[in-house]
Amino acid sequence: MKRLTLDNLKQKVAANDSNKTTQKKYNVFSPDGFTINFGEVYNGMEAAKLALKQFCSRYERQGYYSTVINGERVQIPFNSIQVYCKIMSIKEPLPFNP
């Protein structure tokens, strides 16, 4: 009979609960496809939308966001920046606390 250790038990519980203990989080990407805040995800859609609004507001005075699309320099007008950004949902397992 195989002895069940604490580490094996933690792994078993984590594997069984991994589908149950996920929560939806969001990440926001710039028109260039980079996350707007490296290492940070948002706990809800409203928080992600607020972060996107704050990101876009950085370019209000300049009047555009400058990027390269298909090898050409493009200036995205300020009022269109959000259209080129993406909010994507992600799933993160919750930490295991024995």
CA distance 30 to 76: 12
**Phi-psi map region of 70: left, alpha, beta (phi>0 left; psi -120 to 50 alpha):** left
Q: Both tokens of residue 87?
A: 């909010």
Of 91, 92, 93, 89, the residue nearest 49 (C-alpha): 89
98 residues of the chain, pLDDT tens digit each: 556 565 655 565 555 545 445 578 999 999 999 999 887 899 999 999 999 999 999 999 999 999 998 999 999 999 999 999 999 998 765 555 55
Kind plus residue range of the DSSP H or E element containing 51: helix 45-57
Q: Does the pTM of the predicted model rise above 0.75?
A: no
DSSP 8-class letter at 27 = E
